[in-house]
Amino acid sequence: MKPFSRLNHILRNLPVHLALIIMCLLWILPTLGLFVTSFRSREAVRASGWWTILQREQQPGQAGYETYCASCHGPRGDALAEADLSDPALIAKYPRANRLLPVLKQEINGMPHLSDPALPENPKDALDTLTPIVTYLQTLSGESDQTARLTLRNYADALVGYKGTQDYITDCQQGTASALAKFRCDASDLLNPEGMGRAFINTLIVAIPSTILPVFFAALAAYAFAWMDFKGRQWLFAILVGLQIVPLQMTLVPIARLYVSLGMADTFLGIWLFHTGFGLPYAIYLMRNFIGGLPREMFESAYIDGANHWLVFLRMVLPLSLPAIASLGIFQFLWVWNDFLVAKVFLATHPVLTVQVTNLIDPRGGNWHILTGAAFLSFIIPMIVFFAFQRYFVRGLLAGSVKG
């Protein structure tokens, strides 16, 4: 009977598993596309989609080439020395069929260029015939060779903040003037203020204190709300929790004015305080529920033994509420890391990753091959945090909902 019950079990769970697998695929697919694209060259990104990297070069124009050209130019295109079709410099002159057509209409040595068979008379049919041949010639000459190669140059461009028309490494090798004006072409470029490298450091400087400060203060406040008796405790707690509904956007202008008058505009201190302030209500709420759920007897015996509040907080509450602190820290860290608006408004001259990404692309959406590399650089740390502390996510989600 046992095999059957197992089979039943599998069959029963099959829809759930299928749904899970499909959802995972749907979530992973765009990221995978971005990941593959981030290793493709600018030309390749422009020419084809990321899913084509495993395809073999198709050669649709080969049949046309063999019909019209191979009899004189040879199967590899190099039979005639004066018109070597395998020479990229020659082929580069004919990027489109409409450029090749006039040449083919000219006579060669008093004879039509093409006679056996002749090109169709109608220009539309002639262009339709020539277009795949032109594509084939570009493959043959190696003109479009680099489209298949994978490269790390997008990452280099993103790290140093390159915005020119080629790429950083090529520019540096060629010693282009515009590149040398901005870059030193050595390791110090990693800290270029316009690059993702510098933005990475800026983001760390913003995110670490903006995580530690609210979590620490929230733990203190939560302890007070849970275990210290003072007048108006419940009211104060209700007001604090209620403060969560204040939309962050509404406070931008008043706080920006305040910071300007205090000389804190565009400083790290300003953005730490902002994130701390807006992180606190939720953090206190979550921590109070957790700390309030610790057994009362434990606190009573500690007080009887002569421990004061500070000692109880440091020796008992902090170690016991580590799961809550960890999950809260993760959430706060990811929120600050991904924040765009607050950093854009309060830290304009020290761009963080999210802000720097928008500085790299053109307003009409050009240059987006750099964006792919930049996007991956910006979520390396969140990925590490997520995979290292996965289990706390679930605990964090439950911490506020189920009161012990």
Partner 1 sequence: MKAKFVLFVMIVGLLLAACGPQPAETVVTEAAPAEPAATEAPATEAPAEPAAPEMCMGAQPGDELTVMYVWSGAEEEKLNAIFKPLVDTCGIKIVAESTRDAAVVDTRVQSAPPDILFWPSTAPVDLYTDKLVPLDTVGGIAENYASYWLDLGTRDGKWLAVPVKADIKSIVWYSPAQFEAFGYEVPTTFEELDALVEKMVADGNVPWSMGMESGAATGWTGSDFIQDILLAQQGPEYVSKIISGEIPYNDAGVLQAYQTYYKWASDPKYTVGGAEGTLNTAFLDAIYKPFASPAEAMMVKQSGFAGGEIVKQFPNLVYGTDFDFFPFPGAKGMQGGADFMMVFGTSNATKAMVAYLTGPEGAANWAQAGFDLSPNKLAAGKYTDAQLAKKGEALANAAGFTPDIGDTIPAPFGEAEWKAIIEVLQGGDIQAALDKAAQAQAEALKK
- The answer to whether the peptide bond before residue 323 is cis (omega within 30 degrees of 0) is no
Identify which of 375, 396, 351 has the alpha carbon closest to the alpha carbon of residue 36.
375
At 27, the amino acid letter reads: W
Smallest gap from residue 330 Cβ to partner 1 (A): 11
Asked if 367 touches partner 1 (CB under 8 A), the answer is: yes
Q: Is residue 268 part of the contact set for partner 1 (CB under 8 A)?
A: yes
Distance between CA atoms of 160 and 335, rounded to whole angstroms? 25
Cα dihedral sign for 164, 165, 167, 168? negative
Smallest distance, partner 1 to C-beta of residue 212, A: 5
Coil, helix or strand for 114? Answer: coil
Q: Please, what's the largest Cα pairwise distance for the chain?
A: 115
Sign of CA dihedral 245, 250, 252, 254: negative
> Residue 193 interacts with partner 1 (CB under 8 A)?
yes
Q: Does 272 bind partner 1 (CB under 8 A)?
A: yes
Minimum distance between the CB of residue 240 and partner 1, rounded to whole angstroms?
A: 20
Give the C-alpha separation, 76 to 7, whole Å: 60
Only segment of 62-70, 95-103, 303-311, 379-387 that touches partner 1 (CB under 8 A): 95-103
* Distance in angstroms (rounded) separating the CA atoms of residues 228 and 105: 95
Q: Is there binding between residue 403 and partner 1 (CB under 8 A)? A: no
- Identified binder of partner 1 from the candidate list 6, 17, 99, 315, rule CB under 8 A: 99
Decide if residue 359 touches partner 1 (CB under 8 A). yes
Give the residue with the Cβ less far from partner 1, 52 or 241.
52
- Which one, 92 or 380, has the nearer CB to partner 1? 92
| Per-residue binder mask for partner 1 (CB under 8 A), 231-260, x = binder | ------------------x--xx--xx-xx
Give min distance, CB of 255 to partner 1, in A: 9
341 contacts 249 by C-beta, under 8 angstroms: yes
The beta strands (E) that lie in 74-193 are given as 107-108, 111-112
Residues contacting partner 1: total by CB under 8 A: 68
Q: Give the residue, chosen from 196, 218, 325, 352, that forms a contact with partner 1 under the rule CB under 8 A.
A: 325
Smallest separation (angstroms) from partner 1 to the CB of 185: 15
Distances (CA, A) of 72 to 69, 84, 95, 284: 6, 11, 21, 83
Does residue 57 touch partner 1 according to CB under 8 A? no
Angle between helices 390-399 and 268-292 (to 10 degrees): 70
Q: Is residue 87 within the footprint of partner 1 (CB under 8 A)?
A: no
Stretch that binds partner 1, among 20-28, 92-100, 151-159, 283-291 (CB under 8 A): 92-100
Using the contact rule CB under 8 A, the part of the chain among 25-33, 79-87, 148-156, 261-269 near partner 1 is 261-269
Q: 236 near 297, Cβ under 8 Å?
A: no
- If one counts every other C-beta atom within 10 angstroms of the C-beta of residue 202, the result is 22
Question: Among residue numbers 215 through 234, which ones bind partner 1 (CB under 8 A)?
Answer: 215-216
Counting contacts by CB under 8 A, is residue 360 touching partner 1?
A: yes
Site for partner 1 (CB under 8 A): which residue of 86, 176, 267, 338? 267
Give Cβ neighbours of residue 166 (< 8 Å, ≥ 6 apart): 176
- Other beta carbons within 10 angstroms of residue 114's beta carbon come to 16
Which residue type sits at 392? Y
Which residue number, 67 or 241, has a Cβ lying nearer to partner 1? Answer: 67
> Hey, is 350 helix, strand or coil?
coil
User: Within positions 101 to 120, which residues make up the interface with partner 1, using CB under 8 A?
Assistant: 101-102
Phi and psi torsions of 93, nearest 5°: -75, -15
Would you give the distance in Å from CA 350 to the centre of its chain?
19
Among residues 137, 226, 265, 312, the one that binds partner 1 under rule CB under 8 A = 265
CB neighbourhood size of 391 (10 A)? 11
Among positions 131, 148, 302, 393, the unique one binding partner 1 when judged by CB under 8 A: 131
Q: Is residue 383 close enough to count as binding partner 1 by CB under 8 A?
A: no
> Which part of the chain contacts partner 1 (CB under 8 A), choosing from 32-40, 331-339, 358-366, 373-381?
358-366
Output the six-digit token pair for 55.
């395809």
| Residues at the interface with partner 1 (CB under 8 A) | 43, 46, 92, 95-99, 101-102, 123-124, 126-128, 131, 134-135, 163-165, 178, 182, 191-194, 205, 208-209, 212-213, 215-216, 249, 252-253, 256-257, 259-260, 265, 267-269, 272, 318-319, 322-323, 325-326, 329, 344-345, 348-350, 358-367
